[in-house]
Amino acid sequence: MPTDTENPDSADTEPGRTAQAPSRGWRRQLPAVFGLGAIALLLIGVGVGLLVQSSLSDRDGDDRPAADSAAVGFAQDMVRHHQQGVEMATIELYNGSDPAVRNTAYDILTQQTNQVGQMQSWLSRWGYPADNPGTPMAWMKGDHDMHGMSMPGMSMPATSQSTMPSGSMSSGGAETPPMPGMAVTSEMDKLRALRGQPLDLYFMQLMLRHHQGGLPMMRYAADKAHVSEGYVRDLAQQMVSVQQNEVQTLTQMIAERGGTPLSMN
């Protein structure tokens, strides 16, 4: 007759215990799954972007946008903007507790990771660095305080503070972000330290402001990128549509949980 030694998992086959062990193991593996998923999506995004650019190269020849063009500036600055959004969403997935908020974070992580991959592939094809070596948003030709900055929850317009490095100090002693809507160092530190429901709410507040700060760049690129760079316009417009919907969702979810939107920084 078979003995227990032949079935090392026999202790977990008792009634009422079979469903619990896999569930606990799966929960322990979630952070690793999400992390691997983000890496896989980034690689997929790069691959998709390279395929798109390869097909476009035959049609557009050797056309290369100028370094100060809307296409290049948008790709460089939006990669940086998105990378922080991905980090915030990952923190929520690791340590948040509200299923609805975590689902929203997962959507943001997957979408923005894929978009980062596409934009990095453009920059690689064009021969430009992924990081903007100049002043953030200068490619908007002075219009970065326009194009939708009067949206609900945005009580302050973008100013010249947006050109300062992340975590730098203004003359008044306050930290200033590199671009409107981005979290500064102290806010990211706070987000990383929170757990559970406080993290859920603070993540939504930061992400709402993050989306609102990025929308003017997306709108500008969708309108101003050269007609030969239709793929840039298309992605920028896709971002506008998605993030407008997420702004509405986040605003509603924050209110339902007793919170209020943050002012624009």
The neighbouring-strand residues paired with 169 are: 175
Q: What is the CA radius of gyration of the chain?
A: 22
User: Alpha carbon 5 to chain centroid distance?
Assistant: 50
φ, ψ for residue 168, nearest 5 deg: -75, 165
> CB-based contacts of 140: which residues, under 8 Å, 6+ apart?
70, 73, 216, 217, 220, 224
The count of C-alpha atoms lying within 13 angstroms of the C-alpha of 12, restricted to the half-sphere facing its C-beta, is 11
Question: How far is it, in rounded angstroms, from Cα 101 to Cα 206?
Answer: 13
- Residue 11: pLDDT above 50? no
The single-letter DSSP state of residue 177 is: -
Assess contact for 80 and 119: CB atoms under 8 A.
Answer: no
Please give the residue that has the higher pLDDT: either 145 or 238.
238
The domains of the chain are located at 29-140+196-265
For residues 178 and 162, is the Cβ–Cβ distance under 8 A? yes
Chain centroid to Cα 13, Å, comes to 43
What pLDDT is attached to residue 173?
A: 59
Q: Is the pLDDT of residue 36 over 70?
A: no
Average pLDDT on 210-221 reads 98
- Give residue 14's pLDDT: 43
Query: Which residue is associated with the tokens 């302050």?
Result: 156
Which is higher by pLDDT, 149 or 164?
149
The residues that bridge with 168 in the sheet, in sequence order, are 176
Q: How many CB atoms lie within 10 A of CB 167?
A: 16
Contact at 8 Å (CB) between 132 and 162?
no
Q: Quick one: 59 exposed, middle or buried, by C-beta within 10 A (0-12, 13-18, 19+)?
A: exposed
Q: Shortest CA distance to 219 belongs to which of 110, 74, 103?
A: 74
Q: Stretch 153-166: mean pLDDT, rounded? A: 35
Asked whether the beta carbons of 176 and 161 are under 8 A apart, the reply is yes
pLDDT band at 60 (very low <50, low <70, confident <90, very high): very low
| Average pLDDT for the chain | 79
Query: Picking from 61-70, 169-178, 198-207, 226-235, which range would have the lowest pLDDT averaged per residue?
Result: 169-178
Q: Are 232 and 74 in contact (CB under 8 A)?
A: yes
Q: For domain 29-140+196-265, give the CATH number.
A: 1.20.1260.10
Phi and psi, residue 176, nearest 5°: -130, 140
CA dist., res. 10 & res. 148, Å (int): 62
